[in-house]
Structure 1
Amino acid sequence: MSSSIDNVRLKAFLSEPRFTTYLEHARGDFNRILSLYLWNIDASSAVLATTSLVEVVLRNTVDEALKRWNPRQAYKMVPGRKAAYSEDWILDPCPAVKNWFYSEDNPQQSRVLQNSRVAMKDMYGRDVKLNPTHDDYVAAFTFGTWLRFIPKPSASNPTKFPLNFWEQELCQSFLGQHRNSIFYWGQHLHYARNRASHLEPLLDVKQLQRLIQKSSQPHKTPDPAPEENTRRYKLNGRLNPE
């Protein structure tokens, strides 16, 4: 009786669609559902541990590349500009980056910067950083924002941002990889991160291993740490729900 009651509670807790997913994977064995769900939490942590490391590496790589690229952009034809742009591409952006920040629909406000300010609020919604620094914004930008610095496969104008940024600077940070390869790798990474953070079922072990391995491919990122992290999870045997 207690087992039946526990299953009713678990079904209510997970919601019927998600409960059914685990029940099907458990081949109708109600006693395995909770174990599978707990294993899925563990598997999600393995994915997040890897993608979080890669996200930090990607963020820092793009930031450092922009710090080198921003001061090299032309400024003499910009009205009122008398000096070169600094390496602070967020607070002192060249026209290409500024136009990327400020859309034509809303030239006075940047949605990217506004969203970042939301991330700087405390738990009560109060602004805790009234004058955010460059590093504050870097830490607050979403992963999706960083991926936007990698040009889409459809980008074809080498004079427009971010394709010009990629060809003139960022490509050097990815060891000669084609930009399309890096773009799709980033999208894969984003997909894996979102599935794990939302605790979506990761019960297909082969797919799970592919998610982690592809996310941490050492030739895509300048830092080997994510690859070492994946190897550690394999050695710990965490990628096996049986």
Structure 2
Amino acid sequence: MPHRIVPHLSPARLSLYRSECGSASDHRAGALYVWQVELHAAWYEVLGLVEMLLRQSVDNALADWNHRALLPGGGTRDWLTTAARPLDSLAAKMSRDAQVAAQKAADKRPRNHPRFNAPVIHDDLVAQLTFGNLAHLLPTKAAPTNRSTRATGRSARENLWLHGLINTFPNRAQVWPVGARGDTAGRKVCLGYHVGNTIGRLRDLRNRVSHHEQTLAANHAARHEDALLLARAIDPRAAAAISELSTVPRVLARRPRF
């Protein structure tokens, strides 16, 4: 029974569940805690699939952009190792981290692994990228009101979005309609902030879920919609599959009520 878990929760953590239940009952607190564990497990599936979809689509978009770029570092699809400006500065740390992590993963391959002793390649680096890495490449929070200090009038992240990362979402016009005034550069920049903030919200939820933090006050329904909209803007068929597989809505509906 869930109440048997309660003695192992710290007083500070337990107080959050008791407060939510409006009772000192171990049975109620335990039921709520176990329900949250089930919800987090459901989120692991959704976030893992969306992260994979996003990571691969970002890789394709940036590989195309970097291959076309005329600045130093351009002309290659390996954007994590030879990136053109402004990507070179934005991706420098994530590239180093990805190379270290990919090499560690390669060193751990058993002898029966198909790529035992094979060198680290671009795909190995991409596999190490996380929601946090992807969010770092995008504009977030709000667009600046004063652009006079920038030569192009836009930040590095805004330019990268406009000329490269926007292609991560080939179905964006269906998910985020451009309106009667057309798909202007200004509208595209605003969309970049919307997408960046959406990915940031999912990153924050993923971090809390992975650390088993209390998420009772999180707007899980809205975050689930965020995840599906991102997936739909990349590939509607993949998004439909994720929606069908997701148990987040069903678990949410079973939240204990006291």
Q: Same fold (TM over 0.5)?
A: yes
Question: 1:163 and 1:140 mapped to 2: Cα distance?
Answer: 24
Q: Is the CA contact (8 Å cut-off) linking 1:70 and 1:87 kept in structure 2?
A: yes
Within the candidate set 199, 211, 221, 2:223 is matched to 211
The 5 A counterparts of 1:13-28 are 13-26=8-21, 27-28=23-24
Q: Is the CA contact (8 Å cut-off) linking 2:67 and 2:75 kept in structure 1?
A: yes
In the alignment, what sits opposite 1:166?
161
Q: Do residues 116 (structure 1) and 104 (structure 2) align?
A: no
In the superposition, relative to structure 1, how do residues 116 and 127 fare at CA in structure 2: closer, same or farther (>3 Å)?
farther
Q: Is the CA contact (8 Å cut-off) linking 2:91 and 2:137 kept in structure 1?
A: no
Q: Is the CA contact (8 Å cut-off) linking 2:51 and 2:131 kept in structure 1?
A: yes
Q: Is the CA contact (8 Å cut-off) linking 2:39 and 2:248 kept in structure 1?
A: no
How many Å apart are 1:237 and its aligned residue? 2.8
How many Å apart are 1:211 and its aligned residue? 2.3
In the alignment, what sits opposite 1:72?
68
The 5 A counterparts of 1:1-242 are 10-11=6-7, 13-26=8-21, 27-75=23-71, 78=72, 85-102=75-92, 111-120=93-102, 131-152=119-140, 153-154=142-143, 157=150, 158=152, 161-174=156-169, 175-176=172-173, 177=176, 178-204=191-217, 207-217=219-229, 221-224=233-236, 225-226=238-239, 228-230=241-243, 232-233=245-246, 237-239=250-252, 240-242=254-256
Corresponding pairs, count: 220
Ranges in structure 2 where 5+ consecutive residues have no aligned partner: 110-116, 177-190
In the superposition, relative to structure 1, how do residues 236 and 191 fare at CA in structure 2: closer, same or farther (>3 Å)?
closer
Greater alpha carbon shift after TM alignment, 142-151 vs 36-45: 142-151
In the superposition, relative to structure 1, how do residues 149 and 18 fare at CA in structure 2: closer, same or farther (>3 Å)?
same
How many Å apart are 1:168 and its aligned residue? 1.7
Q: Is the CA contact (8 Å cut-off) linking 1:182 and 1:220 kept in structure 2?
A: no
Letter aligned with residue 184 of structure 1: N
Greater alpha carbon shift after TM alignment, 208-217 vs 14-23: 208-217
Q: Is the CA contact (8 Å cut-off) linking 1:203 and 1:241 kept in structure 2?
A: no
Give the RMSD, CA atoms, in angstroms: 3.3
Q: Is the CA contact (8 Å cut-off) linking 1:120 and 1:127 kept in structure 2?
A: no
Q: Normalized against structure 1, the TM-score is what? A: 0.75
Q: Is the CA contact (8 Å cut-off) linking 1:96 and 1:160 kept in structure 2?
A: no
How many Å apart are 1:59 and its aligned residue? 1.0
In the superposition, relative to structure 1, how do residues 38 and 162 fare at CA in structure 2: closer, same or farther (>3 Å)?
same
How many Å apart are 1:118 and its aligned residue? 4.1
Instruction: Classify the secondary structure of the residue corresponding to 1:90.
Output: coil
Q: Normalized against structure 2, the TM-score is what? A: 0.71
Deviation >6 Å, runs of 4+: 126-130
In the superposition, relative to structure 1, how do residues 146 and 30 fare at CA in structure 2: closer, same or farther (>3 Å)?
same
- Percent of counterpart pairs with the same letter? 23
